[in-house]
Amino acid sequence: MVSEDPNQQDHDGTPSQTSALQEHPNLSVHPSVSIHPSVSIHPSVSAHPSVSAHPSVSAHPSVSAHPSVSIHPSVSVYPSSSAHPSTLAQPSGLIQPSSSGPEDLSVIKVSKRRWAVVLVFSCYSMCNAFQWIQYGAINNIFMHFYGVSAFAIDWLSMCYMVTYIPLLLPVAWLLEKFGLRTIALTGSALNSLGAWVKLGSLQPHLFPVTMLGQVICSVAQVFILGMPSRIASVWFGANEVSTACSIAVFGNQLGIAIGFLVPPVLVPNIKDQDKLAYHISIMFYIIAGVATLLFILVIIVFKEKPKHPPSRAQSLSYALASTDASYLSSIIRFFKNLNFVLLVITYGLNAGAFYALSTLLTRMVISHYPGEEVNAGRIGLTIVLAGMLGAVISGIWLDRTKTYKNLCHPNCLIQ
C-alpha cells in the first residue's frame, strides 16, 4: 500500500487530502499507461506506477475530466479516461451528457463582457426614451413652430404606446427565434434612422416628416423594451439577474429624465421661426449623432450569448432548448396563469399613469403658470429620478431576498 506524498500541496497552498488506496489482485494500473491528453488532473493527485486502484476508490473532488464530461466528486474516472482499458469505472458512476454546442455546458462562469452589454443596451434605450418625451417636454413650442394643435403634438408621444400594442407579441417571437444580437441591432438601427429622419423636418410645413421619424423611433422601442429580462438571464449569474434587469431599465428611465430636462434648455420659447428652427436643429443633430454612435457600439459589443452559461438554469435551457415549442401555446399558458395576469394588470396601471402624466405634464403646468417650461421639466425630472432610485433599490433587494411577491403588495397599495 502506497500513500501520497505528504509534502504535496494544493494550488492554494493547503495540504492535499489523502485517500486510502487498497491493493486488489485483479485491478492494477499498468506502469506504461499515460492519462488521456484531454484529461487534466488536480496537482494534488499523484499516480505512482506501483499504486493499484481499488474499484471503490473515487477521484479527488477537484479532478476535472474531459471538457465535455462532468464528473461527480464521488464518482470514479470514466473508463476511457482511466489508466488501463481493463480498468473498470465504478458501476454507480453518473456522467452528465455533454452539449453538442460550442460552449462547455459543464462550466458555469460569468463573462466580463456582460457589463459592457448591459451598459450599451442601457445607453441606446436611454436615447430612444429621450426621443419619446422630447416633444412633450416643450409641447407649446412645437405647437407654435409647426402650427398644429396640442392634440397633434400629443400624438408624437402617444404613437409610442399605440405602436407597442400590436407589435409586442410579434417582436417577442422574433426575439425567441433570432436571439439578442439581431433584435439589438434592429432596435438601435431603427432608433438611429428615426433620429436622422427628424432632421428633414426643420420647416414649419414638414410636420408629417417629424411624425414619420417619431413613428420609426416608436417601432424601435418595441425592439428595446422586451430585452432587459432576456439580457439579465442570458448574461448574468443567478444572484445578479434582478440587479442587471434594473440597470437595463434604469437607462430608459434616465432617458425620460434627460428628455424632461434638456429640451427646455436647448430650445427656448421664442417667436422668430428661423431662430427656433436653428435651436431645434441643434437638439436633433445631437440626438442623431448619439444614436449613430450607439448603433456602432452595439455592432462591436453585442454578442448572442457568452461562451459559458452564467447559471445552472441557463445551462439547462441550452441543453433542453427545443425548436418545436409552440410560441402561441406558451402565450396561452401565460394568460391562464392568474399570477401573471395580476402582474400584467398591476404593471399596466402603473405604466399607464406614468406615461399619461409624462405626456401631459408640460401642458398642465403652463396652462396655470405660463412660461414655466423649464420648471415643468424639473418636475418631470423629479418624478423619474424617484422611480429610478426605487428600481435600483428593488433590484438589489430582490437579488438578496427573492421576496418577489412581498414586493408587489406595497406597489399595489401605492397605486
Q: pLDDT tens digits for 287-296?
A: 999 999 999 9
Residue 280, phi then psi, degrees to nearest 5: -65, -40
Domains of the chain plus CATH, in order, are 18-98 (no CATH), 113-341+361-414 (1.20.1250.20)
Q: What mean pLDDT value characterizes the chain?
A: 75
d(C-alpha 47, C-alpha 221), whole Å: 60
73-126 pLDDT, tens digit per residue, is 433 434 333 334 333 344 333 334 444 444 555 677 778 888 999 999 999 999
Residue 187's pLDDT band, with cuts at 50, 70 and 90, is: very high
292-325 pLDDT, tens digit per residue, is 999 999 999 988 888 877 777 666 766 665 544 5
Query: Looking at per-residue confidence, does 72 or 256 come out higher?
Result: 256
The Cα-based distances of 26 to 2, 29, 235 in angstroms read 17, 10, 50
44-61 pLDDT, tens digit per residue, is 433 344 333 344 333 343
353-388 pLDDT, tens digit per residue, is 888 888 888 888 888 888 787 888 888 888 888 877
Q: Which of 95-104, 140-149, 185-194, 267-276 has the lowest mean pLDDT?
A: 95-104
Kindly tell me if the per-residue pLDDT of 331 is higher than 70. Answer: yes
Count other Cβ atoms within 10 Å, centred on residue 174.
17
Query: Once rounded to an integer, what is the mean pLDDT over residues 14-26?
Result: 40
CA Rg value for the chain: 30
| Close Cβ partners of 376 (under 8 Å, ≥ 6 residues apart) | 137, 260, 264, 361, 362, 365, 366
% pLDDT > 90, the chain: 31
C-alpha cell at 356: 399619461
Residue 38's pLDDT band, with cuts at 50, 70 and 90, is: very low
Please name the residue ranges forming H helices in 302-337.
312-319, 327-336
d(C-alpha 187, C-alpha 124), whole Å: 9
Query: Once rounded to an integer, what is the mean pLDDT over residues 334-353?
Result: 87
CA 150 to chain centre: 37
d(C-alpha 121, C-alpha 249), whole Å: 9
239-262 pLDDT, tens digit per residue, is 788 888 888 888 888 899 899 889
d(C-alpha 238, C-alpha 112), whole Å: 15
CA 6 to chain centre: 49
